Amino acid sequence: MSSLLLSLSSKPSLRKLALRCQTLRMFSASTTNPYLLHRASEESQLTEFVMFDPAKEEYSSIVDKPLPKYLFKSRLVGSSHGWGVYLSSPDSIVISDYPSSSKSNPKIIPLPPRPNVIGSQTELVSGVAISSSPEEEDCIIAVKYTGRPVSIYTPGRAHKGFLLAMSTGLFDYFEQSKLMYSKRDQRFYMPSSGGHHLWSWGGLSGTTPQYHELKFHNLPQLSQTELQLLDSCYRTHELVESSSGQRFLVKWYVESPAMKYLAFSCGGTKRFMVFREEEDMNMSYTEDIGDLCIFLGNNEPFCVTASSFPGLKPNSIYFLGEGYGEGYGVYDIATITPRSFTPKSTPGFCSGQIVLPYWIPPVQCLSS
């Protein structure tokens, strides 16, 4: 034993590893539930945020957090893995772990200026995806603006970013699409507006994005009334991947209500259709995703295992959105039924507009 300790002490890297392991034993790891975060109000330099726990269907806390000076007059346009993307005039873009971080000094990482591309609106963002923590050197951040450009940012590298502009003949099909990063493939993906094709890119500068045609099988049998309802709905498509690498394409059908800001009502969401990816881009309709639940909103889509978070409903989709009156709620995939959240108490401001809410995925914390 003494010889082992002597050996460790003679090698700096091994000694540091041993000390690190000893330190970790003093802490216990816990994982937060996925939760909904949104800004409730803003006065001067103090911003009030609300956290909603979907497993308990209750507000977990209401916190006042100082707004970092760098984010004054900026607006949140999307999030991925708890990191928010903020835009400000005229072409500034930054990424920050504010407000989801529990740290008193949130990280703020400036990115290269937004692109100036004819026919595109870089003040509007439809999707954001991140390959890993922006604090890691090999992190890649993809931001899909309305129109042709997908901006790629590499804040940890000497070359901070570049632009992937779609051809004029194709970008109409991806104009408002959302991005997703696949850890299994180490590629970025984006479904087309019709849901029949995928755009993908492998993360290497100088490489060309690929386009994939999806083939659908085992389609559900719908009545004429159901078909008419779905034809009248606004439809979006989202691609999501589980921690095991299983992917699903989700079709989201919304009948826009007269009043779009519906607080915790399930609003105009009428139906979801879930397709499980099989080999060679074959997509098979399913009403059973097992112990998984999917989270969709103003964030990169993600999955969690329901049994790991007591209170979450397996085989369900937790959704939020206000752009087309989607509403807030949970959808039972097996029974094809959306349900509004029913929080035990509701802060007074929730009867009005909620400002860009999004889901924060589970985070592992260490406590002494």
Quote the percentage of the chain above a pLDDT of 70. 77
- Which pLDDT does position 76 carry in this prediction? 86
**Range in 210-219, 220-229, 294-303, 315-324 the model is least confident about:** 315-324
Tens-place pLDDT, residues 95-137: 998 877 766 788 999 999 888 776 667 778 889 999 999 999 9
- Which pLDDT does position 9 carry in this prediction? 34
How high does pLDDT run on average in the chain? Answer: 81
CA-CA-CA-CA dihedral for 64, 66, 71, 74, to nearest 10? 30
Return the structure tokens found at 220: 């559900």
pLDDT of 295 over the 90 cut: yes
- Which pLDDT does position 24 carry in this prediction? 34
Distance CA 72, CA 74 (A): 5
| Residue that the structure tokens 């999917």 belong to | 294
**Range in 34-38, 59-63, 93-97, 144-148 the model is least confident about:** 59-63
Task: Tell me the average pLDDT across 320-347.
Answer: 86
Task: Tell me the average pLDDT across 166-191.
Answer: 82
**Range in 118-122, 230-234, 339-343 the model is least confident about:** 118-122
Could you tell me which residues come within 8 angstroms of residue 320 by beta carbon, excluding any fewer than 6 positions away?
A: 36, 296, 297, 298, 326, 327, 328, 357, 358, 359
Tens-place pLDDT, residues 274-286: 999 998 899 999 9
Helix (H) or strand (E) holding 161: strand 161-165
Separation of CA 73 from chain center: 23
- Which pLDDT does position 253 carry in this prediction? 95
pLDDT of 22 over the 70 cut: no
